[in-house]
Amino acid sequence: MSQILLSILTFGCLFSVLTLSLNLQYARGGMINFGIVAYFAAGAYAYAIFTQEPPKGLDQYLFGFGAPWWVGFLAAAVASMLFAIITGWPTLRLRGEYLALTTFAFAEMLHSVLLNERRIGNGSVGLSNIERPEIGWMGIPEGYVYAGAAIILMLGTALVFRRLLASPYGRAVDAVRDDETAAQAIGKDVARLRFQVFVISAVPIGLAGALYAMITTLVSPDLFTAEVTFFVWMALVLGGERTILGVVLGTLALVGFQEIVRAIPYESVRTAQLAKSVEVMLTGVIFILVLRWQPFEALGRRSKKA
């Protein structure tokens, strides 16, 4: 039981980083990113490539640098940032649904490159020689250290975003989202602000990718499908935009629900299939209820006032 709580906490906080970043892009920046998984994957693969040993035997990948974990994290931040620069530059002038479609397309492109180009990450097999530092740190079990790392990453992301948004910078970002024309009439460089928000918010996503790779010690294309993107969007909708606490609670709830359902033991394949359908239906029902009453958003609001 404590095992499941620990993994809810770890992955809940880890995915909260993604939801927080999406919240910055969407609720504050007014940008719809339907390719969020790509920045996550970029971070995870960068961590894997930089920390793994050089290829040998059946490995088809070209690069492995055997670097320590913190180099992997740096590489992950840079990789997701670069991917955001490359994908953001041509697309951020696009409005609403067009941006959603192009970000989705970019993510699908990255996915198919990772799947088909074996020299990057062994294609569909993925990379599994990922550095996992020795962290029986001060006698604390590994699981707790990872949970702690996820919490720290989440809190750090929340704090940095908060600091950014509580400044005149955040005010300008809000103005641009509210009314571009009026914002330009007071000298706000709309393209610059949107681009910066997009790139800044990609960095924590990349770091979360690195931590994810470190914890699972495996990256492969089928871990980074559009399902991850939709999962994060669901968490954002559940938590209600705009409040940081709401966003985190929404993500924790969604991760918790999935982990609990996964932990139920089944006697046969048939019951497992049944359970899977029930899970999907339950997700739908809970979703409708939450959207109707928005409990997490309300909680977040109350805590903001206090």
What residue ranges bind other proteins (CB under 8 A)? Answer: 163-164, 167-169, 171-172, 174-175, 177-179, 181-190, 196, 200
Q: Residues with Cβ < 8 Å from 43, sequence gap 6 or more? A: 76, 77, 79, 80, 205, 206, 207, 208, 209, 210, 212, 213
Least Cβ distance, residue 183 to other proteins (angstroms): 8
Q: Which is nearer to other proteins, 2 or 181 (CB)?
A: 181
Q: Which is nearer to other proteins, 192 or 276 (CB)?
A: 192
Least Cβ distance, residue 167 to other proteins (angstroms): 5
Least Cβ distance, residue 219 to other proteins (angstroms): 30
Q: Which is nearer to other proteins, 140 or 182 (CB)?
A: 182
CA dist 103 and 233 (Å) reads 14
Least Cβ distance, residue 24 to other proteins (angstroms): 13
Q: Which is nearer to other proteins, 174 or 279 (CB)?
A: 174
Q: Which is nearer to other proteins, 101 or 175 (CB)?
A: 175
Count of beta carbons in the 10 Å neighbourhood of residue 252: 23
CA dist 190 and 178 (Å) reads 11
Least Cβ distance, residue 295 to other proteins (angstroms): 23
Which residue type sits at 276?
K
Least Cβ distance, residue 203 to other proteins (angstroms): 12
Q: Which is nearer to other proteins, 58 or 185 (CB)?
A: 185
The CA-based angle 118-121-126, given to 5 degrees, is 105
Q: Which is nearer to other proteins, 93 or 119 (CB)?
A: 93
Count of beta carbons in the 10 Å neighbourhood of residue 230: 13
CA dist 173 and 257 (Å) reads 34
Handedness of CA 63, 67, 71, 76 (dihedral sign): positive
Q: Residues with Cβ < 8 Å from 300, sequence gap 6 or more? A: 239, 240, 242, 243, 244, 245, 246, 247, 249
Least Cβ distance, residue 135 to other proteins (angstroms): 30
